[in-house]
Amino acid sequence: MKNRAFHAGIKQSPYEALFGCKVKVGLQLPNDFTQNVETEEDLEKIIQDLTKKEEDPEVTACEFSKLAPSNAASVHKKLQRVIHVNMDVQSRLFALLLKNHVMKDLDLVFCLLCSKKYKVHDNRQSAKKNLQQQAEKMMKSSEKKFAPVPIGTSVRIAVPEVDRGRGDARNIIGVVLAKSDDELYQIGTKNGILKQSYSRSQINVCPRALLDAEDVPSTEIALRSVASLQSSGTGQGFKKCHCKKN
């Protein structure tokens, strides 16, 4: 089951990120209960008793000595009032507790339902943070592997198989016209400026200059249209006449 497998990007399983707890597989009951089970009705009664205990938990106070003295009393009153409130108010309370470094004592403060909601919120925030770190690591690795391309350099862009004919070239020649703050390159061809911007990993640098920026028309054009114009045949697909015949 891939949902309970450890994910290297979020540092937890997808199930934990979604529900705030590990996957529950099978039925686990204490030995004291299973020894007295003889019929199916006995098992149902035990499950109902356990469920009732979980639905009516006792709320106890945590050690507020770690809080600032001026905030301890006010936070304690807020905790008693917002045990069963909406997520918007809970998020504000979580931010207050984070500021005062008492997150590890939340299970002693909230009821079972609110505690589960906090764990879900905390796991999702942790997953988001880990994904951002993974993205930064991938960007640094990509920057080391692919050097920046100066403006005016001739490059090759691969044409997808669905956008070209079988006998057409696999690449088109272009020239770098501009570079955005997001490290995306604007490419121009002899038929016009491509509408799509390309990342460094999507373009290959040519060993010598094959196209000048002055030879690029100012009109925007799609990559598929450029492939059709530079095709040795009719381009991708087939042309069909839609004239009505008697």
User: pLDDT (tens digit, 9 = 90+) per residue, 173-218?
Assistant: 999 999 988 889 999 999 999 999 998 888 999 999 889 988 899 8
- Helix 87-99 and helix 112-145, axial crossing angle in degrees, nearest 10: 70
Residue with the bigger pLDDT between 37 and 129: it is 129
Residue 103 pLDDT > 70, yes or no? Answer: no
How many alpha carbons lie under 13 Å from residue 228 in its C-beta half-sphere? 13
pLDDT of residue 241: 66
Please name which of 30, 64, 25, 70 lies closest in space to residue 47, comparing C-alpha atoms. Answer: 30
In the chain, the percentage of residues whose pLDDT exceeds 70 is 65
Amino acid at 186: Q
Contact 53, 33 (CB under 8 A): no
Q: Global pTM?
A: 0.49
User: pLDDT (tens digit, 9 = 90+) per residue, 147-157?
Assistant: 888 999 999 99
User: pLDDT (tens digit, 9 = 90+) per residue, 33-80?
Assistant: 666 777 788 778 877 776 666 555 444 444 444 445 455 455 555 554
Amino acid at 77: K
- Distance (Å, rounded) from C-alpha 92 to C-alpha 81? 13
